[in-house]
Chains A and B, each alone.
Chain A
Amino acid sequence: GEDVEQSLFLSVREGDSSVINCTYTDSSSTYLYWYKQEPGAGLQLLTYIFSNMDMKQDQRLTVLLNKKDKHLSLRIADTQTGDSAIYFCAELAGNNRKLIWGLGTSLAVNP
């Protein structure tokens, strides 16, 4: 079946790196995504990675994909208070277009 899991909370100090982890079960996933949701707001697409890649970097964001272990991570360098939000991992399941979501990791950045 399709399932995506994330740890629920992460707390870091401002200026440190944050690493948010995610595991998924669908080996036929083509794309994996990271979205950011601030309180009361919609979902902002941060970045994505194609399943045949193992790393993607975009400014302060680095995505690592271990396809063998079905493990995805998002590293945020130099974390700022404005990065405080819920981060969702999602996979594009199989041949259809529906996104399967984790429950989200709430990132708290302490000054």
Chain B
Amino acid sequence: NAGVMQNPRHLVRRRGQEARLRCSPMKGHSHVYWYRQLPEEGLKFMVYLQKENIIDESGMPKERFSAEFPKEGPSILRIQQVVRGDSAAYFCASSPPGGHEQYFGPGTRLTVT
């Protein structure tokens, strides 16, 4: 059973560009979570999604950030008009229906130049 997959592993964007981060959950997992790890800081929850539904987006910045988990395909975290402060490691996790454990992918390290 493959683990949580994220791509790309590293992403470099210039200020003002868009960043798209992808996450494929573990097989059989229907819950996806996104977390952000800023340099020298801990992880912060961003959003929790189930297929086609956003369940909790209380950690998402109000502007420029959006997330989706379509019926088919990976979950996407989209950051529009990136700024230097968006540089961070973005981690995706998944859990099975009824399960509480969250299993993490390797992360996408976003650098904004």
Chain A positions within 8 Å of B, measured between CB atoms, are: 30-31, 33, 35, 41-45, 48, 88, 90, 92, 96-104
Contact = CB atoms under 8 A, between A and B. Distances in A.
**Nearest 4 CB-CB pairings of A with B:** A98-B45, A42-B106, A43-B104, A103-B42
Given A42-B106, A42-B107, A43-B91, A98 B43 contact: no
Nearest to A50: B100
Given A98-B33, A98-B56, A98-B59, A30 B45 contact: no
A45 B105 contact: no
Contacts of A104: 42
A86 to B, nearest CB: 10
Given A97-B33, A98-B56, A45 B101 contact: yes
- Chain B contact residues (Cβ within 8 angstroms of A): what range? 20 to 34
B80 to A, nearest CB: 23
A92 B100 contact: yes
30 contacts: A30-B100, A41-B107, A42-B4, A42-B104, A42-B106, A42-B107, A43-B91, A43-B93, A43-B104, A45-B103, A48-B100, A48-B101, A88-B42, A90-B43, A96-B48, A97-B31, A97-B55, A97-B95, A97-B100, A98-B48, A98-B56, A99-B35, A99-B43, A99-B45, A99-B102, A100-B45, A101-B35, A101-B42, A101-B43, A104-B42
B58 interface: yes
A28 to B, nearest CB: 14
Nearest to B102: A99
Q: Interface of chain B, helix or strand or loop or mixed? A: strand
B105 A42 contact: yes
B104 A44 contact: yes
Contacts of A100: 45
Task: Please indicate which of the listed interface residues A31, A43, A88 has the most CB atoms of chain B within 10 Å of its own CB.
Answer: A43
Given A98-B58, A101-B42, A45 B102 contact: yes
A25 to B, nearest CB: 15
B44 interface: yes
A31 B100 CA distance: 8
